[in-house]
């Protein structure tokens, strides 16, 4: 049986919707940097489907785009497990995270105790485009740096 890597990096998004795929860009860079430390999964799934990816993990880092309208595009936002209890809808793909966390606890599922989310504020994550906007390209190094900081803090 293959041993799971220590940290799951779960990149959420859609790479044909421009900036909505920013999590994929960051996850690919991190996979090259930490090949033995992380396992990367890229998915456009949301809600309950994420349970399958998260169940049984000790640590998970979710990377996603978010369009709150409260920050300038390129802002980096971070949440941890405790923040989910106060969030209503942090991102398109993360909208169900508070609910699945609650469900996992009620069902006594083994769920990551170290669960973090790093998002990049984007202008419009619904525009069909296979490339990132200039704002997202400029902010990508900071997005990756925040994810790197979290990965390094786990070990």
Q: 143 in a domain, yes or no? A: yes
Please compute the mean of the pLDDT values over residues 6-23 and round it to a whole number: 93
pTM: 0.86
Q: 139 in a domain, yes or no? A: yes
Q: 130 in a domain, yes or no? A: yes
Report pLDDT digits (tens) over 24-72: 999 999 999 999 999 999 998 877 778 888 888 999 999 999 998 899 9
One-character DSSP codes across 23-52: HHHHHHHHHHH-TTTEEEEEE---TTHHHH
> Distance between alpha carbon 19 and the CA centroid of its chain, in Å?
14
Q: 2 in a domain, yes or no? A: no
Q: 1 in a domain, yes or no? A: no
CB 105 within 8 A of CB 23: no
Q: 133 in a domain, yes or no? A: yes
Q: How many structural domains are present in the chain?
A: 1
- CATH of residue 28: 3.40.50.1450
Q: 28 in a domain, yes or no? A: yes
Domain holding 57, by residue range, is 7-154
Q: 88 in a domain, yes or no? A: yes
CB 89 within 8 A of CB 119: no
User: Does residue 124 come out as left (phi exceeding 0), alpha (psi in the -120 to 50 range) or beta?
Assistant: beta
């Amino acid at each position: 049986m293959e041993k799971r890597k220590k940290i799951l990096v779960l990149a959420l998004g859609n790479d044909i919707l421009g900036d909505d795929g920013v999590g994929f860009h960051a996850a690919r860079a991190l996979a090259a940097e930490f090949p033995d430390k992380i396992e990367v999964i890229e998915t456009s799934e949301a809600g309950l489907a994420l349970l399958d990816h998260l169940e049984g993990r000790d640590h998970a880092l979710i990377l996603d785009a978010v369009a709150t309208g409260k920050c300038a595009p390129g802002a980096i936002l971070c949440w941890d497990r405790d923040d989910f209890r106060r969030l209503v809808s942090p991102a398109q793909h993360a909208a169900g995270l508070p609910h699945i966390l609650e469900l996992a606890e009620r069902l006594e599922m083994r769920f990551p105790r170290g669960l973090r989310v790093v998002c990049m504020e984007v202008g419009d994550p619904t525009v069909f485009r296979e490339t990132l906007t200039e704002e997202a390209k400029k902010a990508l190094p900071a997005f990756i740096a925040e994810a790197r900081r979290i990965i390094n803090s786990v070990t």
